[in-house]
Amino acid sequence: MKFRKASLALRATIAIFSFLVIQTAAQAQDKPNVVIMMVDNLGWGEIGTYGGGLLRGAETPVLDALAEEGTKLLNFNVENQCTPSRSALMTGRHPIRSGTTRVVWGVLYGMVSWEVTMAELFSDAGYATGMFGKWHLGDVPGRFPTDQGFDEWYGVANTTDESWYREQLQYDPEVGVQPFVQEAVKGETPTTVAPYTVEKRRLIDSEVNERAIDFIERQANADKPFFAFIPYTQPHLPTLPHPDFEQITGNGHYADVLAEIDHRAGEILDTLDELGLRDDTIVIWTSDNGPEEARGWHGTAGFWRGQYFTALEGSMRTSFLVRWPGMIPAGRVSNEIVHITDLLPTLASIAGYEVPSDRIIDGIDQLDFFTGKQETSNREGFPIYVGDDIFAYKWRNWKVHFWQLDNMFSAAQKLNVPNVHNLLSDPKELYPDRTGETTWVLPPILKRVVAHQATLLQEPPIRLGTPDPYTPPE
382-458 in CATH: which number? 3.30.1120.10
> Could you tell me which of 316, 434, 362 has the C-alpha nearest to residue 93?
362
**Antiparallel, parallel or unpaired: β 281-287 and 317-323:** antiparallel
| 70-99 burial code (b ≥16 CB/10 A, e <16) | bbbbbbbbbbbbbbbbbbbbbbbbbbbbbb
CB 329 within 8 A of CB 71: yes
Q: What is the fold, at CATH topology level, of the domain defined by 31-381?
A: Alkaline Phosphatase, subunit A (3.40.720)
Q: What angle do CA 306, 308, 310 make, to 5 degrees?
A: 70
pTM above threshold 0.95: no
Which are the contacts of 210, defined by CB distance < 8 A and separation ≥ 6?
none
> Could you tell me which of 298, 382, 323 has the C-alpha nearest to residue 45?
298
pLDDT digits (tens, 9 = 90+) for 110-142: 999 999 999 999 999 999 999 999 999 999 999
**Residue 112 carries which DSSP code?**
-
Indicate whether 6 pLDDT > 80. no
What pLDDT does 8 receive?
Answer: 45
Burial (CB count within 10 angstroms: exposed 0-12, middle 13-18, buried 19+), residue 451: exposed
CB 209 within 8 A of CB 230: yes
> Domain-by-domain residue ranges, the chain?
31-381, 382-458
Beta carbons within 10 angstroms of residue 294's beta carbon: 13
* Terminal-residue alpha carbon distance, the chain: 59
Strand ranges inside 91-176, DSSP E: 128-134, 152-156
> Could you tell me which of 404, 384, 402 has the C-alpha nearest to residue 394?
384
pLDDT band (50, 70, 90) for residue 474 = confident
Q: Cα separations (Å) of 263 from 1, 260, 267, 269, 372?
A: 70, 5, 6, 10, 29
Distance CA 255, CA 258 (A): 5
What pLDDT does 2 receive?
Answer: 39
> Could you tell me which of 267, 218, 275, 217 has the C-alpha nearest to residue 242?
267
**Antiparallel, parallel or unpaired: β 389-395 and 398-404:** antiparallel
Strand ranges inside 99-244, DSSP E: 128-134, 152-156, 180-185, 191-195, 226-231
What pLDDT does 33 receive?
Answer: 98
Which are the contacts of 472, defined by CB distance < 8 A and separation ≥ 6?
114, 359, 459, 460, 462
Residue 33, beta-bridge partner list? 281
pLDDT digits (tens, 9 = 90+) for 341-364: 999 999 999 999 999 999 999 999
Distance of CA 199 to the CA centre of its chain: 26
Distance CA 201, CA 213 (A): 19
What pLDDT does 457 receive?
Answer: 97
pLDDT digits (tens, 9 = 90+) for 40-94: 999 999 999 999 999 999 999 999 999 999 999 999 999 999 999 999 999 999 9
